[in-house]
Amino acid sequence: DQIALDIRMYMRKETLEIINGLIGLREILLSLAAGHTGTVMAGYTHLQKAQPVLFAHHLMAYYEMFSRDTERMRDCLKRINVMPLGSAALAGTTYPIDREYTAGLLNFPKVSANSIDSVSDRDFIIEFLASASICMVHFSRISEELVLWSSFEFNYIELPDAFATGSSIMPQKKNPDIPELVRGKSGRVFGDLFALLAIMKSLPLSYNRDMQEDKQPVFDAIDTLKACIGIYIKMLPNIKINKNVMLKGALSGFLNATDMADYLVTKGMAFRDAHACAGKAVGYAIKKHKELHDFTLEEMKLFSPLFSSDIFDALTPESMIERRKSFGGTAAGNVVKAIKKAGKDIAKERI
């Protein structure tokens, strides 16, 4: 029971630090988002340009991911914070101890209910490692985007020099080392989870020496996750955002094709027909090497007589973004409200 107690006390301390670290990371994301409520970028599906969004809205997507990670860690903490002391080897003890009193001294809100389970339970570690793995998925995803965005092909951002390196052979290179390393470290944490699952899967009750091998995975996962949180807190505020490049990206690639179809729907056309009409217009634009918003009104009318001069206002990125006012959408008003609400909520979270 002392071994079980020690690992729970250690994990309680580390989980609290991780929770507060995630809160700090989310505060950084909120600050970045608040500064980019007017920055337009291309939104993607299948890594293909899809529709324009606000960069702040994109950042808030990661805020939501890391918010769920914080919630998972908080929930996991409830099952970590259970005192097993007094279960002895597996059957309890003959001494007249007061486990509730001991739990109070050690700041445990709850005492374990079954002595056999108390010494053989490692579910709370597996749950922590699963939560850490999900969190590392999110770190891997944002890292992948930073790698892409910092490439010559995208050029959406520039990483600070302290978080990138040059090449020993190619003098022009600026390699995104930190995002790449964080992306790679996600695999370590996944491995830690799989390792403990493999250790525990066939163990009879109660304690077995195999369970001694639970320490390395949990130590590694905690150290890795804390390091990733810490480095991102330092790196994110210092990334240079190339707003003009982002906007230019939103102006090419026919991101306004859906809005062209929606425009025709507002004029009374069925969406299926409007979709086909916009598709034909895109095909024509590709042949003519121009964007939809570069059409003349006469060219618009080649595809439907319903087009009039107000179509051009409907096809600007700013207009497309502003019309997406459904709850959770990218309209500036929505995004600003989401940032303000998140700021009020997060102020109450630190523990």
Average pLDDT over residues 247-251: 97
Q: Give yes or no: residues 173 and 280 share one domain.
A: no
Average pLDDT over residues 324-349: 96
Q: Give yes or no: residues 179 and 274 share one domain.
A: no
Of the candidates 151, 167, 252, 308, the residue annotated as catalytic is 167
Label residue 122 by pLDDT band (50, 70, 90).
very high
Q: Give yes or no: residues 171 and 293 share one domain.
A: no
The confidence score (pLDDT) of residue 251 equals: 96
Label residue 161 by pLDDT band (50, 70, 90).
very high
pLDDT tens for residues 17-61? 999 999 999 999 999 999 999 999 999 999 999 999 999 999 999
pLDDT tens for residues 276-320? 999 999 999 999 999 999 999 999 999 999 999 999 999 999 999
- 343 assigned to some structural domain: no
Catalytic residue at 120? no
Of the candidates 46, 168, 309, 326, the residue annotated as catalytic is 46
The confidence score (pLDDT) of residue 140 equals: 98
Describe the crossing of helices 271-288 and 257-266 by its angle, rounded to 10 degrees: 140
The confidence score (pLDDT) of residue 255 equals: 96
Domain end point (choices 192, 217, 249): 249
| CATH code, 269 | 1.10.40.30
Q: Give yes or no: residues 261 and 240 share one domain.
A: no
- 328 assigned to some structural domain: no
Q: Give yes or no: residues 266 and 236 share one domain.
A: no
The confidence score (pLDDT) of residue 311 equals: 96
Average pLDDT over residues 108-133: 97
| CATH code, 187 | 1.20.200.10
Q: Give yes or no: residues 306 and 162 share one domain.
A: no
Domain end point (choices 233, 249, 265): 249
Q: Give yes or no: residues 244 and 265 share one domain.
A: no
Q: Give yes or no: residues 307 and 161 share one domain.
A: no
Catalytic residue at 167? yes
Our count of domains for the chain comes to 2
- 351 assigned to some structural domain: no
- 292 assigned to some structural domain: yes
Q: Give yes or no: residues 129 and 269 share one domain.
A: no
Question: In the chain, what percentage of residues exceed pLDDT 70?
Answer: 100
Strands 48-54 and 240-241: unpaired
The confidence score (pLDDT) of residue 168 equals: 79
pLDDT tens for residues 175-211? 999 999 999 999 999 999 999 999 999 999 999 999 9
- 171 assigned to some structural domain: yes
Average pLDDT over residues 252-280: 96
Label residue 170 by pLDDT band (50, 70, 90).
confident
HEC assignment per residue over the chain: CHHHHHHHHHHHHHHHHHHHHHHHHHHHHHHHHHCCCCCEEEEEECCEEEEEEEHHHHHHHHHHHHHHHHHHHHHHHHHHCEECCCCCCCCCCCCCCCHHHHHHHCCCCEECCCHHHHHHCCHHHHHHHHHHHHHHHHHHHHHHHHHHHCCCCCCCEECCHHHCECCCCCCCCCECHHHHHHHHHHHHHHHHHHHHHHHHCCCCCCCCHHHHHHHHHHHHHHHHHHHHHHHHHHHHHHCEECHHHHHHHHCCCCCCHHHHHHHHHHCCCCHHHHHHHHHHHHHHHHHHCCCHHHCCHHHHHCCCCCCCCCHHHHCCHHHHHHHCCCCCCCCHHHHHHHHHHHHHHHCCCCC
Question: In the chain, what percentage of residues exceed pLDDT 90?
Answer: 95
Q: By residue range, what is the domain housing residue 268?
A: 257-315
Checking if the pLDDT of 224 tops 80, the result is yes
Checking if the pLDDT of 351 tops 90, the result is no
Mean pLDDT for the chain overall: 96
The confidence score (pLDDT) of residue 305 equals: 96
Q: Give yes or no: residues 235 and 276 share one domain.
A: no
- 161 assigned to some structural domain: yes
- 349 assigned to some structural domain: no
The confidence score (pLDDT) of residue 175 equals: 92
Q: Give yes or no: residues 236 and 267 share one domain.
A: no
Label residue 92 by pLDDT band (50, 70, 90).
very high
Domain end point (choices 204, 219, 249): 249
Label residue 171 by pLDDT band (50, 70, 90).
confident
Q: Give yes or no: residues 67 and 122 share one domain.
A: yes
- 341 assigned to some structural domain: no
Average pLDDT over residues 243-267: 97
